[in-house]
Amino acid sequence: MWSVVIPVKPFSRAKSRLAAGLGPWRHELAHAFFLDTLWAVRNTEGVRTVVVVTADPLAAAQTRTLGAVVCPDAPGVGLNAAVRLGAAKCRAVGPEGPVAVLTADLPGLRPQELDHVLREARHHRRAFVADHTGEGTTVLTALTTAGLAPAFGSGSGHRHALSGAFPLEMPSDCGVRLDVDTPEDLARVALRGVGPYTAALFRLRKARYPVADPVQGASSTASS
C-alpha cells in the first residue's frame, strides 16, 4: 500500500504563467487542478495514505473533507523541503512503505493511470514520470520515505534520472504527464479531458464570459 505526498502552494501565489489572458481565474484554476489531482489519487487502488503539504487554509480544509492528511508547510522553504516534510508525515501516521510524490497540477489525471505507474514503480528503488515536455517531473516514487531524494524544479527530470531514479515510460498525452503551467498546457489537457472540478470551472467561466474563450475551445470539450 502506497503513501502519496502532494505539495500545494497557496492558491494566491500559484500558476503565475496562467495570468496572461486569465487574470484572477488562475487562482481558481490552481484550486481546481489540486482538487482533481487529489480526487484521482484518493480513487487509485493501492493508495493507503494521502498527505497534502500546504500553508493554504482552503486547501487544508478541503484536504480533510476529502479524507486526506494535512501537513503544514513551512513558509519559504521551497518545494523539495515541502516534499521532505510530507514524507516525514507519512512515517508519523502509518507504517513505512513505498511513497509517491505528485505535483498538484494534474487536472487530467485518471486513477487507472496512477495505478499503472505505482505498479511499475514497485520494481524500482526510485522512479519518476517526466512531464509531457520531458524536462520536468510529475511523479517521483521510492520504496521508502527516506529514499525519495526529491530534486523538483526546472529540469528536474534530468536531475532525477542522473540521481539514479528509473524513468517510467508513459504516453506523452496521458493525464499523469499533463501538468499545467501555461495556457497552451491548459488547452492540451482540456482537449483530452479533465476531472470534475476543472470541468465545472470551465463551464462556469463559459457561462460568465460566453464570447471570450481563454483556452481555445477547452470549455466546450472538457469532460470528467
Rg (the chain; Cα; Å): 16
pLDDT for position 134: 95
What CATH number does the domain containing 204 carry? 3.90.550.10
pLDDT for position 223: 40
Domain count, the chain: 1
pLDDT for position 13: 81
Domain that holds residue 161: 2-221
Cα→Cα distances 166→36, 132, 145, 198, Å: 26, 17, 16, 31
- Binding-site residues: 137, 153, 156
pTM of the model: 0.90
- Binding-site residues for phosphoenolpyruvate: 137, 153, 156
User: Is residue 134 helix, strand or coil?
Assistant: coil
pLDDT tens-place values along the chain, 224 residues long: 999 999 999 988 878 777 666 667 888 999 999 999 999 999 999 999 999 999 999 999 999 999 999 999 987 789 999 999 999 999 999 888 999 999 999 999 999 999 999 999 999 999 999 999 999 999 999 999 999 999 999 999 999 999 999 999 999 999 999 999 988 999 999 999 999 999 999 888 775 554 444 444 443 334 43
pLDDT for position 137: 98
Quick one: which of 115, 109, 95, 3 has its CA closest to 49? 3
Q: Where are the alpha helices (DSSP H) in the chain?
A: 19-22, 25-42, 57-65, 79-93, 111-121, 156-162, 183-192, 196-208, 218-221
